[in-house]
Amino acid sequence: VVAYTGRTDPERRAEIEEDLKANRVKAVVATSALGMGFDKPDLTFVVHLGAPGSPVAYYQQVGRAGRGTDHADVLLLPGPEDRRIWEYFATASMPDEEQARAVLGALADHGGALSVAALEPDVRIKRTTLELLLKVLAVDGAVERVGGGWRATGREWT
């Protein structure tokens, strides 16, 4: 087993990658420095100590295991701080019910389509959050994208 970090000499990193690909080492204990370009189809396990920074990063990292095998194991060993991190990611970018009701009310009051730029000052929601909220409401069938922006469908939303 060998260690691999961003501080590992580039020549040594190349050696470690080649040794792992050729099965001359059983495992590499690595930081995320072992980049997405590394591919070993017969890699059969990934163990994480502490959760990656986002769900997308997690899926990308664990996706290295099992590319060319019938079975692979992935183990996440979370740290005590991870629950707070997961709660943050689960709630920080999602608009709340009050914001959704404000958007639905503004669209219903207008009666036609409103662009995000026109809707933004009415509901006092930052553009990125507003765009995400409109997409969530669209998936729920409460709004739809039409020429000129967004409009309420009149469907009940909960």
77-91: pLDDT as tens digits:
888 888 887 777 667
Going from N- to C-terminal start, the domains of the chain cover 2-89, 97-152
Q: Could you confirm whether domain 2-89 is CATH 1.20.120.720?
A: no
Q: Which CATH number fits domain 97-152: 3.40.220.10, 1.20.120.10, 1.10.10.10, 3.50.50.60?
A: 1.10.10.10
pLDDT at position 92:
66
- Please say whether the beta carbons of 158 and 127 come within 8 A: no
pLDDT at position 57:
77
- Please say whether the beta carbons of 122 and 106 come within 8 A: yes
Q: What percent of the chain has pLDDT over 70?
A: 94
Contacts of residue 39, Cβ cutoff 8 Å, sequence gap at least 6: 64, 67
Give yes or no for residue 36 having a pLDDT over 70.
Answer: no
Q: Which residue has the tokens 């019910």?
A: 97
Task: Give the residue from 93, 88, 156 showing the smallest Cα distance to 130.
Answer: 93
The residue count of the chain comes to 158
Each residue's pLDDT tens digit, 95-144: 688 999 999 999 999 988 999 999 999 999 989 889 989 998 999 999 99
Give yes or no for residue 93 having a pLDDT over 70.
Answer: no
DSSP 3-state of 2:
strand
The rounded mean pLDDT for the chain is: 88
- Please say whether the beta carbons of 52 and 61 come within 8 A: yes
- Please say whether the beta carbons of 51 and 82 come within 8 A: yes
Secondary-structure breakdown of the chain: helix, strand, coil percentages, each rounded to the nearest 5: 40, 15, 45
pLDDT-based confidence at residue 53 (cuts at 50, 70, 90): confident
For 40-44, 82-86, 144-148, which range has the lowest pLDDT when averaged over its residues?
82-86
Task: Record the tokens describing residue 22, joined without a space.
Answer: 């050729």
